[in-house]
Amino acid sequence: MLNLLKNDKMFEIKRKDGLARLGEFTTPHGTVETPAIMPVINPNRELVPVKKLEKEFGTQVLITNSYILYKDQELKDKSLDRGIHDLLGFQGSIMTDSGTFQAHVYGDIDVEAEEILEFQRNIGSDVITILDEFTEPDDSRETAEEKVQKTIERAEHALRSKEDQISLTALPIQGSIYLDLRKRCGKSMGEIKGDLYPIGGVVPLMEDYRFHELAEVIIASKKGLGPRGPVHLFGAGHPMLYSLAVLLGCDLFDSSSYAKYAKRGDMMYPEGTKNIEDIDHLGCECPVCSSYDAEEIRESYKKNDIELLAEHNLWTCFREMNKIKQSIKEGSLWEMVERRVRSHPKLLETLKVLNQEYRFLERFEPRSRRRASLYTGQESIYRPTFKRIKRWILNDYIPPKKGPTVYFEPDQSKKPYSRFFREEIDMIEDYDANLLVSTQIGPVPFEMDEIYPIAQSVFPSHPANIFSLRHYKRKKKIDELIRWEGKSTLDILSKSKGPNFDEMKIKATADYQFGEGAGSALTDGTLKYVKNNKGRIKNVKLDQNHILSVRHYDGFFTLKKTGAEILLNHFSPPDLRIEVTEESAEFNRDGKSVFSKFVTHMSSDLRHGDEAIVVTENDELVATARVLLIKDEVKVFDRGLAAGVRVGFNLNENTST
């Protein structure tokens, strides 16, 4: 049973938003919902009783320091004798740290790597941590490199005897601020296959508000490690950091900060820290703050009783983590992060790091979301959702006609604009003109105005556009735009036999969704559409065959059989494809989901939620499907669903469903 847990199903992802994930991490003592906070328990001084943590805070996992236990003969004997769960009085999951942090603080510690590992195993810790080498931000590259090497060797050594062990093993990722070292270390740890991956050596960065370097370090570590998890951000105890760290793929946080801050009279808030000396109004309704006022908490602090402060701090941490979970569920974590980082200017800087890391972050960004995207300020232009469409329009979009570009400037409250401008569009579509519309994102080819995020975003009336008209004109080499001034504008245009507006819409959408050329391939023949009563295209037929349906919530297509065949024909493998074993194909043809472990190959361009085509290794059409795991994830996760099949196609069936 434990072996099964250890090797098969320790970390399962339930929901994703960017690199963030709602997951379940299973240890010998139960399942931990992630992202989660692991309160740090000092066995010498229990600030908040463990029973309270369990019952009131709903804590599923604790962390304690094995080195402190080991160095105190009495505690050592007791924990060996009774086991760590009995000692702490906690039957949930317990992780132990190895003494690395003590080595960072005191310069050196007095224990061997194997010794402390063995001790952790012997006291029955659920997750044991190898004694890694703490890389300091000001370590020279050589020093950092040596420490990384030593840490990797220890990890290899520790895992050698893993099979016999019940405990799970945490393999920390070190590397100081050298991003290639972080990446290399992450990659090695992933290959060694730990059960949990702490990102270590980051406390000094947090203490000095070097948050942009922290973000770089997390991203580099994740790049190396891949989507494996859970990832633990060692020593990150301030709630103002949580949402950013979760967005970047951290799943676990240990917090001794709640106690450390309490000791100096500090109350944590998601927007920062305030000292109890300066507080008149608590502005919190946690169980502590709704039972005591600021004066009472201050008095108790003055009497050296810091339990109230410690509990408030923990409540703040737990509440913040709950808000984050809800945001992942809603798909609004990017917005939450963009708001939270404004609690400190140095934290705000991290948005520039996210901007620089667009290429990496974009892989985890769905092409559409169920929920409208809300602009939170000028820094929202860095958000992958907006940046992706900007890049496509500026770099990849090819205007369908040869003639001039006519520019529409609609009332921004009337989205989607093309339905309000239907009459004008009907007039102009027979002319040789490309249509451009001013949106709050920027100037957008008019035929794209109904797809995510153009129609599905909320902006102020006059935001700084994500990109400018000047930018568009330069990229598309347009010298002059013709502004739409009503019917008279037609006088300066010439008639054209080019595609009408609906066809332009289908082409542009298909090119954006499936890749360049998809639009031409899918419209090469006699096109017909069914529209709903609002005039919106519902279904597309080509030469009598139903090839595409339009998703009402984001304007993208779902593929019908013939549509899938056309695309298979047009794009070479692995584009658009999830390639599965013959064994899997049989099930998938019956409409059953695609399991990760049967995927033999997959396009790296597919994103979570994308429409994909399931094929055999001989590139035979098996099914249309909705992507659940991207290629990086499929490579790592043996268990779990890679895609949900929409329609499976049996070999001897000829009709599309």
- Residues assigned a catalytic role: 97
**Nearest Cα to 625, choosing from 652, 651, 596?**
596
Query: Per DSSP, which regions of 451-602 are E strands?
Result: 457-458, 481-483, 527-531, 537-542, 545-550, 557-559, 577-580, 594-595, 599-602
Q: Is residue 339 near its own copies by the rule CB under 8 A?
A: yes
Contact between 166 and its own copies by CB under 8 A: the answer reads no
**Residue from the set 49, 89, 460, 573 that interacts with its own copies by CB under 8 A:** 460
Judged by CB under 8 A, the number of residues near its own copies is 50
A 10 A CB-CB count for 329 gives 13
Pick from 431, 459, 472, 595: which binds its own copies (CB under 8 A)? 459
CA distance 250 to 196: 11
Q: Is residue 403 involved in binding its own copies (CB under 8 A)? A: no
* Minimal distance, residue 323 CB to its own copies, in Å: 3
Written as six digits, the tokens of 13 are 């992802």
Q: Per CB under 8 A, which region of 86-94, 142-150, 458-466, 493-501 contacts its own copies?
A: 458-466
Q: What is the CA radius of gyration of the chain?
A: 28
Question: Which of 143, 149, 355, 376 lies at the binding interface for its own copies (CB under 8 A)?
Answer: 376
Query: Phi and psi dihedrals of 156, rounded to 5?
Result: -60, -45
Per CB under 8 A, does 52 bind its own copies?
Answer: no
Q: Which helix or strand (DSSP H or E) is residue 80 part of?
A: helix 73-82
Q: Does 431 bind its own copies (CB under 8 A)?
A: no
User: Is 325 a residue that touches its own copies (CB under 8 A)?
Assistant: yes
d(CA 374, CA 31): 34
Q: How far is the CB of 414 from its own copies (least distance, A)?
A: 15
Q: Is 342 or 473 the residue whose CB approaches its own copies more closely? A: 342
| Least distance from its own copies to the Cβ atom of residue 376, Å | 4
Mapped onto helix, strand or coil, the DSSP state of residue 240 is: helix
Please identify, among the stretches 46-54, 87-95, 281-289, 630-638, the one whose residues bind its own copies according to the rule CB under 8 A.
Answer: 281-289
| Near its own copies by CB under 8 A: residue from 378, 468, 532, 650 | 378
Counted residue by residue, the chain has a size of 657
The window from 77-85, 216-224, 302-310, 348-356 that contacts its own copies (CB under 8 A) reads 348-356
Q: Which of 24, 54, 56, 299 binds its own copies (CB under 8 A)?
A: 56
- Interface residue with its own copies among 154, 182, 212, 505 (CB under 8 A) is 212
Measured CA to CA, the distance from residue 56 to residue 53 in angstroms comes to 6
Considering beta carbons, is residue 264 or 329 the nearer one to its own copies?
Answer: 329
For residue 149, give the amino acid letter: Q
Shortest gap between Cβ of 321 and its own copies (angstroms)? 8
DSSP collapsed to 3 states, 347-375: HHCHHHHHHHCHHHHHCCCCCCCCCCEEC
Cβ nearer to its own copies, comparing 153 with 278:
278
Residue 647 in contact with its own copies, rule: CB under 8 A: no
- Should residue 207 be labelled a site residue for its own copies when binding is judged by CB under 8 A? no
Stretch that binds its own copies, among 99-107, 342-350, 388-396, 468-476 (CB under 8 A): 342-350
C-alpha dist (Å) from residue 274 to 260, 280, 309, 419, 480: 14, 11, 11, 52, 56
Report in angstroms the alpha-carbon separations of 378 from 70, 375, 546, 550. Answer: 52, 8, 43, 32
Question: Whole-number minimum distance, CB 348 to its own copies, in Å?
Answer: 5
Q: Which is nearer to its own copies, 286 or 647 (CB)?
A: 286
Helix (H, G, I), strand (E, B) or coil at 613: strand
List phi, psi (to 5°) of 31.
Answer: -105, 135
Please give the distance of CA 38 from its chain centroid, rounded to a whole number: 21
Could you say which of 42, 91, 322, 532 contacts its own copies (CB under 8 A)? 322
Looking at 139-147, 347-355, 390-398, 497-505, which segment touches its own copies (CB under 8 A)? 347-355
**Which of 376, 549 has the CB closer to its own copies?**
376
Residue 345 as a binder of its own copies (CB under 8 A): the answer is yes
Q: How far apart are CA 337 and CA 353, in angstroms?
A: 13
Q: Which residues contact 356 (CB under 8 A, 6 or more apart)?
A: none
**Using CA atoms, how far apart are residues 580 and 595, in angstroms rounded to an integer?**
9
Footprint on this chain of its own copies (rule: CB under 8 A): 56, 212, 271, 274, 278-287, 290, 315, 318-320, 322-326, 329-330, 336, 338-339, 342-346, 348-349, 352, 374-379, 458-464
